[in-house]
Amino acid sequence: MTIAVHVENLGKQYKIGIAPQGRGNYNTLRDTISNAFSRQKRLAAKKPDNLIWAVKDISFDVEQGQVLGIIGHNGAGKSTLLKLLSRVVEPTEGMMQLRGRVGSLLEVGTGFHPELTGRENLYLNGAILGMHRSEITRKFDEIVAFSEVEKFIDTPVKRYSSGMYLRLAFAVAAHLEPEILVVDEVLAVGDAEFQRKCIGKMNDVAEAGRTVLFVSHNMSAVLRLTDESIVLEKGKMIMRAPSAEAVDYYLSAGHARAGEKVWEPADIPITAAPFSPRAIRIVDNRGNIVETIRSTEEFTLEFEYDLDAPITGLRVGIYLYTARGEPVFTSFDTDDARMFNTHTERKAGRYVSRCVVPPDMLNAGRYTLGVNASSYRIHRYFAEERTLEFNVDPAGAPGMHWTEPRPGAVRPRLDWEIEKVE
Amino acid sequence: MTQTDFKPPAPPKEMLTIRPPKGWISLNLRDLWLYRELITFLTWRDVLVRYKQTLLGASWAIINPVVNMLVLQFIFGNLANMDTGGVPGPIFRYTALLPWMLFAQALGSSGRSMLSNRGLITKVYFPRLVVPLSSVLSGVVDFGISLLVMIGMMIFYQIPLTWAVLTIPLLVVLTLVIALGVGMWLAALNVLYRDVGYILPVLTQLWLFISPVGYSSASIPENLQLLYAFNPMTGVIEAFRWAMLGEATATLSLQVVISVGVGFILLVSGMFFFRRMERTFADMI
């Protein structure tokens, strides 16, 4: 098959202080002039520590018609790689070859002007994304129908709801017909019905033999849309594998100690004595400390602490909240009557209270853990509401064959029966 | 993928190879030509947006030059009483304001264009020259509107049209070339140094006074004439007066030749400087 994208040792270097997309980080003439006269600053500007590689030594080929996923944690270099591929920034080293027109969707609605009507923006945005006027005119009705904003097409988009705005923006983008399409996270727009439509459209694009490079944090979208993915970590490409494998790796890679909170002695209030928290961590079923767990796998919460003196009636527990702050559950290590009776007094020493959260419990999303150590009705030693945040990835969870988001904090796998009664 | 639903790929296109830029890069005017539709779309957008949600709409394109004309008439005509070579003061100054306002607007919008289109530049690839180019062009519509007042004034002052009026499109192009040349320098510098945003109004103000807008270039002392002509707007403005009013200064042809030369140098140097800076735009902006 033909190679559509060829990337070889690609690298992009940024100067620290020149943020890749930072606002307010610009120079003023005054700085440059004063730097020119300050030997120290001049040398500092040349020091290699001030240069960072956002991506380095990236090499891969993509065959024509292939949909390649690009996954990695925040700051892994995904966005930089997409910007390089879509030619928004130029590489510092290496080379890449692209066969055919590249359409990039780094965000939807690029160049939309609030004062212009939907119709005007549609033409403008189409032109910006590289469509010809005749092409836009030809597809105009189809795009408008896809966006479901027919009635408001001659209204300035500043009066649109955010949903309408995004639908129109995505509709234009979805009707692009470049040979190579570079997509970043844009599927996460609109309501469930619209999302389903977008994913369908993406599938069409791939089936029409066009090459798609797809970046997402949404692992289920990656699994559904791509056959193969590459995993980026700290600017390096560490894996290229079938998507199921790559997603597994991504979700299980113990990265950068996220998924753990360690207390320094200075963080602990004096009133907590003799209780002294050391760390709380989320451990997946492979023993890695993780920030993202899978909904379909059990995971362990570990709370490690020191007692400098014995405490009677101590209970150590966790609160779980959704990202919006709605409580999901509260649980203590002596909830069980048997545990309560056998742990009436805890002697001085180091302890770990550990519990296993069963699989098929939490829905997709971000959650917050709080901790509490107290003796019921006697004394609260230590409590913290937002101690640790983590994500739940829904890949494989019940009902994932429908792309709609499920409301609710829990996503249990219930035993349904379907019985024909008449 | 099974063999059955495999569609034969389109005939392979030529590979586009991208490598790190080195040294001075070519202007790549071919790419600019491919994106000509985008230039017209961005120009069209700027024109559409300019007077949206203004009370008086496009009549600003008339009010602005007329008010400017009255101010200049008051200062240079009524107070300083400078010689206009027999032409009525108001039309003498309004004629000069036509190319001047076009220039000032084109300069301002192209100088600021890279920042006002930041959202595009960091998200989509296109030749960056499209940005200052389209912002320069959008001023032409205002120019056309203010030309209507000019026609009214010519009827009022009973000034006959001459064949020279046919040179006006060329003079408009020359004005835009000069504005684009300077504008590209400023646009590229503005990405690096936001100081440009503050320099622009001062620069425009100063430039107005060293250009023969409120007065005639004939009022400049003989020994300074050549130096004065190196302001490329001198030739444009005097040529405009000649085209509209039929009055030519003694040194007009020299002024125009210098204006074209300086304009060309500004344009080419501006383009190269802009292309040179282009590689860092998305990083810096």
B16 in A contact zone (CB under 8 Å): yes
pLDDT in tens, A139-154: 999 999 988 888 899 9
Residue B4 lies in a domain: no
> What integer best gives the mean pLDDT of chain A?
82
CB A262 within 8 A of CB A279: yes
Number of Cβ within 10 Å of residue B198's Cβ equals 12
Looking at residue A22, its pLDDT comes to: 38
Residue B51 lies in a domain: no
Extract the tokens encoding A416: 């349904």
Between chains, do A28 and B194 touch, taking CB under 8 Å as contact? yes
Query: Looking at the partner chain, which of B18, B45, B193 has a beta carbon nearest the beta carbon of A95?
Result: B18
Of A131-145, B43-57, B143-157, the poorest mean pLDDT is in B43-57
Residue B260 lies in a domain: yes
What mean pLDDT do residues A275-283 have? 90
Is the pLDDT assigned to residue A3 strictly greater than 90? no
Residue B265 lies in a domain: yes
Extract the tokens encoding A79: 């966005």
**What structural domains and CATH numbers belong to chain A?**
3-13+55-252 (3.40.50.300), 260-393 (2.70.50.60)
Of A97-111, B63-77, B135-149, B160-174, the poorest mean pLDDT is in A97-111
Is the pLDDT assigned to residue B93 strictly greater than 50? yes
What mean pLDDT do residues B15-44 have? 80
What mean pLDDT do residues A303-321 have? 91
Residue B153 lies in a domain: yes
Tell me how close the Cα of B211 comes to any Cα of chain A, in angstroms: 28
Looking at residue B178, its pLDDT comes to: 96
B193 in A contact zone (CB under 8 Å): yes
Phi, psi for A366 (deg, rounded to 5) = -110, 140
Q: What percent of chain B has pLDDT over 90?
A: 44
Query: Looking at the partner chain, which of A83, A93, A98 has a beta carbon nearest the beta carbon of B16?
Result: A98
Between chains, do B20 and A115 touch, taking CB under 8 Å as contact? no
The CA angle B93-B95-B99, to the nearest 5 degrees, is 110
Query: Looking at the partner chain, which of A6, A88, A127 has a beta carbon nearest the beta carbon of B41?
Result: A127
Query: Looking at the partner chain, which of B15, B45, B48 has a beta carbon nearest the beta carbon of A98?
Result: B15
The count of domains in chain B is 1
Phi, psi for A338 (deg, rounded to 5) = -65, -45
Between chains, do A91 and B19 touch, taking CB under 8 Å as contact? yes
Please state whether A260 falls in left (phi above 0), alpha (psi between -120 and 50) or beta.
Answer: beta
Tell me how close the Cα of B44 comes to any Cα of chain A, in angstroms: 9
ipTM for this prediction: 0.79
Looking at residue B106, its pLDDT comes to: 94
Which has the closest alpha carbon to A253: A227, A280, A286?
Answer: A286
Which has the closest alpha carbon to A231: A212, A251, A211?
Answer: A251
Residue B14 lies in a domain: no
What mean pLDDT do residues A219-235 have? 83
Of A39-48, A281-290, B268-277, the poorest mean pLDDT is in A39-48
Is the pLDDT assigned to residue B8 strictly greater than 50? no
More confident residue, A50 or B216: B216
Looking at residue B103, its pLDDT comes to: 96
Which has the closest alpha carbon to A394: A213, A214, A222?
Answer: A222
pLDDT in tens, A71-90: 887 678 888 898 888 888 88
What mean pLDDT do residues A337-352 have? 90
What mean pLDDT do residues B183-202 have? 90
Phi, psi for A86 (deg, rounded to 5) = -90, 5
Looking at residue A234, its pLDDT comes to: 83
User: How are the residues of chain B apportioned to helix, strand and coil, as percentages rounded to the nearest 5?
Assistant: 70, 0, 25
CB A114 within 8 A of CB A158: yes
Q: What percent of chain B has pLDDT over 70?
A: 92
More confident residue, A256 or B99: B99
Tell me how close the Cα of B25 comes to any Cα of chain A, in angstroms: 13
Looking at residue B3, its pLDDT comes to: 36
Is the pLDDT assigned to residue B269 strictly greater than 90? yes
Q: Hunting for tokens 């995904």 — which residue is that? A: A78
What mean pLDDT do residues A377-388 have? 85
Is the pLDDT assigned to residue A24 strictly greater than 60? no
Cα separation, B147 vs A195, in Å, equals 51
Compute the Cα dihedral for A201, A206, A212, A218 and give only its sign.
positive
B21 in A contact zone (CB under 8 Å): yes
Looking at residue A216, its pLDDT comes to: 77
pLDDT in tens, A231-275: 988 888 988 989 888 887 776 654 434 688 888 777 788 788 889
Is the pLDDT assigned to residue A356 strictly greater than 90? yes
Structural domain boundaries, residue B205: 35-45+57-74+86-284
What mean pLDDT do residues A44-54 have? 65
Task: Name the residue of chain A whose CA is nearest to B118's CA.
Answer: A111
Q: Hunting for tokens 């620069």 — which residue is that? A: B203
Cα separation, B69 vs B91, in Å, equals 8
Is the pLDDT assigned to residue A47 strictly greater than 60? no
Looking at residue B207, its pLDDT comes to: 95
Contacts of B41 in chain A (CB under 8 A): 123-124, 127-128, 133
> What confidence tier does A23 reach under pLDDT thresholds 50, 70, 90?
very low
Looking at residue B5, its pLDDT comes to: 38
Residue B1 lies in a domain: no
Looking at residue B232, its pLDDT comes to: 95
> What integer best gives the mean pLDDT of chain B?
86
B34 in A contact zone (CB under 8 Å): no
What mean pLDDT do residues B76-90 have? 85
Looking at residue A21, its pLDDT comes to: 39
More confident residue, B147 or A190: B147
Contacts of A110 in chain B (CB under 8 A): 119-120, 123-124
Looking at residue B271, its pLDDT comes to: 92
Is the pLDDT assigned to residue B96 strictly greater than 50? yes
Residue B18 lies in a domain: no
Is the pLDDT assigned to residue B116 strictly greater than 70? yes
> What confidence tier does B7 reach under pLDDT thresholds 50, 70, 90?
very low
Task: Name the residue of chain B whose CA is nearest to A1's CA.
Answer: B9
Looking at residue B23, its pLDDT comes to: 61
Looking at residue B135, its pLDDT comes to: 92
Looking at residue A17, its pLDDT comes to: 53
Based on the number of CB atoms within 10 Å of its own CB, is A299 exposed (0-12), middle (13-18) or buried (19 or more)? buried
Contacts of B49 in chain A (CB under 8 A): 113, 115-116
Which residues in chain B (100-139) have CB-CB distances under 8 A to chain A?
A: 119-126
Task: Name the residue of chain B whose CA is nearest to A8's CA.
Answer: B19
pLDDT in tens, A398-417: 888 887 778 888 999 999 99
**Partners of A240 in the β-ladder:** A230
Looking at residue B180, its pLDDT comes to: 95
Looking at residue A399, its pLDDT comes to: 86
What mean pLDDT do residues A215-229 have? 78
Contacts of B277 (CB under 8 A, 6+ apart): B188, B189, B191, B192
Cα separation, B212 vs A171, in Å, equals 52
Between chains, do A27 and B193 touch, taking CB under 8 Å as contact? yes
